[in-house]
Structures are given as C-alpha cells and as structure tokens.
Amino acid sequence: MGGNLVETLIGAAVLVVAGIFLAFGYSTSSIGSDGGFMLIAKFDRVDGLTTGSDVRMSGIKVGTVIAQRLDQETYQAVIEMDIKQGIPLPDDSSAKITSEGLLGATYLSLDAGGSEDFLENGSEIRFTQGSIDLMSLIGQAIFSATGNTEEKK
C-alpha cells in the first residue's frame, strides 16, 4: 500500500513539473497576439519564412509573422505580421526577408522610413524585398566560372 502512495506522489510531481514547463514555454514563445497591431506586406519570394518567424528592427524582435497566403491575382506571397504596441512605423518603411547567416533562421527585417505619417492597423508595407535563392546564386557562380575558363582555353 505504501508503494502505491509513493508512486502516486511521484506521478503528481512529474505532472506539476510538466505543467510548469508548458506554462514557461507558452509565455516565452509569443504565441498569439500581444495587443499590438497587424500589418501586411507582399513579396515575390518568401523562402524559409514561416508562421511564427520573428519580425525585427535593428536586430531586435518587434513582432511575429502570424499568417501567410498567396494572392491569386498577383501571385505574390502576402505576409501578415503582428507588431508590438508602441512601435510607430512611418508609412514609407520597408520590409525584407533575410537570414541570420548562411544556415540561420529566416526572419522579416523592417527598416523605418522618414515620413511623418505612420502605418495603422491593417496597413500595407509598400516597399519590400523578397528572399534570395541561395542555390540559384551558387549555381550561377559555378556555371559562370566554368564558362569563363572554357573561353580562355
């Protein structure tokens, strides 16, 4: 009988610790809206960008990508992002998709413009730069290098 009580207490302790880890993970993952405002941006390419990716300004996280879809008229990728409240973005700001390094995570980088008018909830960022296809660039470099050596022979 005493063994069952010990096993029950250990099981309860494991469940409490698991609950603490879940609460900590949820609070630090920025899942869901934090009361900020939503912006939209359209890109030609969004390779590597996923829902939940960071939105950064000057390297500091200021938001999260909350949705992505394909515009069936223009065939562009439409990205919706949630920006933290209290971060005013001029309406001539730009957005580009970049990565932390050669094999790093992809994120959306915002650069503030100089306008005195600011983006509001649901506004669109007009100036965008999509992701760069690294494999195509490497392929072009290899083929252009081999093409140049054949012409020299």
Least confident of 12-16, 121-125, 146-150: 146-150
- The more confidently predicted of residues 94 and 1 is 94
User: How far apart (Å, rounded) are the C-alpha atoms in residues 72 and 45?
Assistant: 14
User: How far apart (Å, rounded) are the C-alpha atoms in residues 37 and 14?
Assistant: 39
69: three-class secondary structure by DSSP: strand
pLDDT, tens only, 57-115: 998 999 999 999 999 999 999 999 999 988 889 999 999 998 887 777 889 999 999 98
The pairing of beta strand 94-99 with beta strand 127-129: parallel
- The more confidently predicted of residues 52 and 149 is 52
Would the pLDDT of 137 be above 70?
Answer: yes
Give the global pTM.
Answer: 0.67
**What pLDDT, on the 0 to 100 scale, is given for residue 103?**
73
Q: How many CA atoms lie within 13 A of 35 on its CB side?
A: 2
User: How far apart (Å, rounded) are the C-alpha atoms in residues 71 and 77?
Assistant: 6
pLDDT, tens only, 16-54: 999 998 888 777 665 555 568 899 999 998 988 899 999
